[in-house]
Amino acid sequence: MRSTRLRPSLRSKAPGLAVERELWADGASVVVGVDEVGRGSWAGPLTVAAAVVPTGKRIYKIRDSKMLNEREREGLFERVANWCAAWSVGHASPEECDRLGMSAAQRLAAKRALGGLGVAPDRVLVDGRWDFVDTGNTRTIVGGDATSLTIAAASILAKVTRDRLMRTMAPSFPGFDFDRNKGYPCPRHRAALSAFGPTVIHRTSWSFMDDLPWSGIPRAATGGQKQLFSGAVT
């Protein structure tokens, strides 16, 4: 798919390399950006991407994946993947999200993503306040997916990879529209749950299980307590 032209509203919102250049100047040659997607989904995996951007080659049109629509993300994916010096995606399955709890599952997905890079990171940039990588060489950046080019690249790789995975699974679960909602809460998804109950890719420890009128399957417990997420979070 060809790269699409950015909407005018996005042209002034490009992430930069200020933090990366600071770290490169300090001798950190391998700076990795990490971002996750799928934490707020009712179904499907939790996905973490790790990306290493080259020091001497720029790319344009990268934005935080949440700013882009699906067509724009798809149009950028191959360019971002080919531009990165290294990148990898790690998943935590729905079963692992239920069994371990979301925090531990996110750490596991991050560990898998970093392990698949093929290079040892000198520094790791993590979007948000929580260091779910916890390797001792991380820096958290609030709003990092909008300000750090490395994290923004990871956000696109994570989002498109997971979206594609959900689209491939959609035909196996007719009525749930996973190709459209990607497993996130929406009226159609809620109606399908009420009619058919959870599928094998649903996180059955989450609070939506309490609201199913047919109540055929009990809500699972995980990590010592039940998951309380019920809203749409990307």
Q: Give the model's pLDDT for residue 232.
A: 39
Assess whether pLDDT exceeds 70 at residue 102: yes
Q: Would you say the C-alpha torsion 164, 166, 169, 173 has a positive or negative sign?
A: negative
For the segment 199-218, what is each residue's pLDDT rounded down to a tens digit?
999 998 888 777 776 555 66
**Neighbouring C-beta atoms of residue 101, cutoff 10 Å:** 18
- Burial-class residue 31 by CB neighbours within 10 Å (0-12, 13-18, 19+): buried
Confidence class for position 62, pLDDT limits 50, 70, 90? confident
- Burial-class residue 156 by CB neighbours within 10 Å (0-12, 13-18, 19+): buried
For the segment 122-177, what is each residue's pLDDT rounded down to a tens digit?
999 999 999 999 899 999 999 888 889 999 999 999 999 999 999 999 999 999 99
Domain ranges across the chain: 8-169
* CB-CB contact of 108 with 92 (8 Å): yes
* CB-CB contact of 80 with 104 (8 Å): no
Q: Give the model's pLDDT for residue 226.
A: 47
Tokens at 18, concatenated: 């200020």
Helices (H), the chain: 18-25, 70-83, 94-100, 102-115, 144-147, 149-169, 178-181, 187-196
Task: Give the residue-averaged pLDDT of 64-90.
Answer: 89
Assess whether pLDDT exceeds 80 at residue 57: no
Confidence class for position 64, pLDDT limits 50, 70, 90? low
Spatial separation of the C-alpha atoms in residues 110 and 100, rounded to whole Å: 14
- Bridging pattern class, strands 46-52 and 31-37: antiparallel
- Burial-class residue 135 by CB neighbours within 10 Å (0-12, 13-18, 19+): middle
Task: Give the residue-averaged pLDDT of 67-73.
Answer: 85
Contacts of 198 (CB under 8 A, 6+ apart): 43, 204, 209, 212, 217
CATH architecture assigned to 8-169: 2-Layer Sandwich (3.30)
Residues in the chain: 234
Backbone angles phi, psi at 170, to 5 degrees: -55, -45
